């Protein structure tokens, strides 16, 4: 459920509803982290005439380049050494439903012409296959980086950018719609109460004022986390200003709390280098609000290396969301 009454959010809802019920095959959803891109992608799917078909999501940044192609397009038996059986890709799994290509800006350059061809011809081939298969699914792409900047830097093909941007949904950051903060906070309080079969916690005037003046770099996800935490800390009583911990943000990747400006502490028993590395990665992810490119840049490693480290530490983001 999309909550918010600001003009900019309502305009996005109106466009998403139109797009959902139209035949428009491709949509680009742009917005900072936590602004609701996946929520809107699911909303567009839910408004469509094929809402009973699958919604599948794939994060282009979280899957190694070597696997992404067969994840998307599937492969024929024997297409490569480990391909012992034919596998359907997510484009096929989505059927007549929706495929959400999240963090499209991270789609490797090698796969970009392939995606463009697919969007134009509405057919594709499995890896190692020769038969052209039709695509029935709607493609929604999401990005939290400026794709036009990526075009300028040569990381993203201009033709694919134009093809994807035909219908473009821009989700406003929360700091530009502070009027929605209270509505969202109360919505999350009701949700939390429903989960625990209780009554929604109330907000003191001080707490509400603090929520309304915060700049929300992590947008709605950050607000949701702040509220969730405040409910626990307040222990069922009215949420006061001191229950709102803006300095601490929950890392998107790891389900742990990391304090911005974290100092890595070495206990008397010592720590392994792997543990220290994992803490440094989590702290940097918290600083960047889960932005993988920015995290890799700060840590001075490549995106694929960061992806490998996240996987080996068990910190990778959920990569594929299976059908609803
Ligand atoms: N307008 C809204 N109303 C209610 N809940 C919202 C709204 N916008 C976002 N949320 C909630 O905030 C959280 C983050 O939303 P979502 O995952 O869709 O963001 P995102 O833009 O995909 O973020 P990221 O770029 O980090 O992947 C989700 O729990 C979502 O349900
Ligand atoms: Mg998302």
Ligand positioned closest to the Cα atom of 42: 1
Residue with CA at minimum distance from ligand 1 atom 23: 34
Counting ligands in written order, which one lies closest to the CA of residue 37? 1
Atom of ligand 1 nearest to the CA of 2: 3
- Name which of 249, 283, 248, 246 is nearest 264 in CA terms: 283
d(CA 128, CA 82): 13
Q: Is the pTM of this model over 0.95?
A: no
Share of the chain above pLDDT 90, in %: 66
What is the CATH code for 175-246?
1.10.8.60
- Closest by CA to 318, choosing from 146, 88, 62, 48, is 62
Q: Which atom of ligand 1 is nearest to the CA of 223?
A: 12
Could you say which ligand is closest to the alpha carbon of residue 143? Answer: 1
Residue 323 has a pLDDT of 32
Domain 7-172 indexed as CATH 3.40.50.300: yes
pLDDT on residue 253: 38
Residues carrying CATH 1.10.10.60, the chain: 257-321
Compute the distance from residue 70 Cα to the ligand 2 centre, in Å. 22
**How confident is the model at residue 274, as a pLDDT?**
83
Atom in ligand 1 nearest the alpha carbon of residue 40: 18
Which ligand sits closest to the CA of 221?
1
CATH class, 257-321 region? mainly alpha
- C-alpha distance from residue 52 to each of 26, 42, 139 (Å): 19, 12, 16
Tell me the per-residue pLDDT of 80-99, one tens digit each, with 9 for 90 and over.
Answer: 888 889 999 999 999 999 99
Nearest residue (by CA) to ligand 1, atom 10, is: 36
* Binding pocket residue ranges, ligand 1, CB within 6 Å: 2-4, 31, 33-39, 144, 184, 220-221, 224, 252, 290
Would you give the DSSP letter of residue 105? G
Nearest alpha carbon, ligand 1 atom 12: 221
Provide long-range contacts, Cβ within 8 A and 24+ apart, for 195-202: 198/236, 201/230, 201/231, 201/234, 201/236, 201/237, 201/238, 201/239, 202/238, 202/239
Cα(90) to centroid(ligand 2), Å: 17
User: Burial code of 74-109, b = ≥16 C-beta within 10 A, e = fewer?
Assistant: bbbeebeeebeeebebbbbbbbebbbbbbbbbbbbe
Per-residue pLDDT of the chain (324 residues; tens, 9 = 90+): 999 999 999 999 999 999 998 877 799 999 999 999 999 999 999 999 999 999 999 999 998 888 999 999 999 998 888 888 999 999 999 999 999 999 999 999 999 999 999 999 999 999 999 999 999 999 999 999 999 999 999 999 999 999 999 899 999 999 999 899 999 999 999 999 999 888 999 999 999 999 999 999 999 999 999 999 999 999 888 999 999 988 544 333 333 444 445 667 777 677 788 888 888 888 888 777 778 887 887 888 888 888 888 888 877 653 333 233
CA of 32 to the centre of ligand 2 (A): 9
Q: Using CA positions, which residue lies closest to atom 25 of ligand 1?
A: 33
Q: Which atom of ligand 1 is nearest to the CA of 39?
A: 18
CB 319 within 8 A of CB 101: no
Question: Which regions of the chain carry the CATH code 1.10.8.60?
Answer: 175-246
Kindly tell me the burial class for residue 236, based on how many C-beta atoms sit within 10 Å of its own C-beta (0-12, 13-18, 19 or more): exposed
pLDDT value, residue 247: 52
Which positions ≥6 away from 2 have C-beta within 8 Å?
Answer: 9, 13, 36, 39, 40, 43
Which of 1, 38, 319 is the pocket-test mutation for ligand 1 (most atoms within 8 Å of CB)?
Answer: 38
């Amino acid at each position: 459920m999309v909550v918010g009454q600001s003009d900019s959010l309502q305009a996005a809802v109106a466009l998403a509803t139109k797009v959902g019920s139209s035949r428009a095959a491709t949509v680009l959803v742009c917005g900072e982290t936590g602004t609701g891109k996946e929520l809107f992608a699911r909303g567009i799917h839910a408004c469509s005439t094929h809402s009973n078909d699958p919604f599948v999501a794939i994060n282009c940044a979280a899957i190694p380049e070597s696997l992404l192609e067969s994840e998307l397009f599937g492969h024929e038996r024997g297409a490569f050494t480990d391909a012992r059986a034919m596998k359907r890709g997510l484009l096929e799994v989505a059927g007549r439903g929706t495929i959400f290509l999240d963090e499209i800006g991270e789609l490797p350059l090698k796969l970009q012409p392939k995606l463009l061809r697919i969007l134009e011809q509405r057919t594709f081939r499995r890896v190692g296959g020769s038969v052209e298969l039709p695509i029935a699914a709607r493609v929604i792409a999401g990005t939290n980086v400026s794709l036009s900047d990526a075009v300028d830097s040569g990381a993203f093909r201009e033709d694919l950018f134009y093809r994807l941007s035909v219908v473009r949904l821009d989700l406003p950051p929360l700091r530009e719609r502070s009027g929605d903060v209270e509505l969202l906070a109360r919505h999350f309080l009701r949700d939390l109460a429903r989960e625990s079969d209780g009554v929604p916690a109330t907000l003191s005037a001080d707490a509400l004022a603090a929520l309304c003046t915060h700049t929300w770099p992590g947008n709605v996800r950050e607000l949701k986390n702040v509220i969730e935490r405040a409910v626990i800390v307040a222990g069922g009583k009215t949420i006061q200003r001191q229950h709102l911990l803006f300095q601490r943000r929950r890392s998107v990747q790891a389900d742990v709390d990391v304090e911005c400006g974290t100092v890595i502490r070495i206990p008397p028993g010592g720590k392994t280098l792997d543990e220290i590395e994992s803490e440094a990665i989590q702290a940097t992810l918290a600083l960047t609000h889960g932005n993988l490119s920015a995290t890799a840049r700060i840590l001075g490693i490549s995106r694929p290396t960061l992806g490998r480290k996240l996987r080996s530490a068990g910190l990778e983001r959920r990569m594929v969301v299976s059908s609803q």
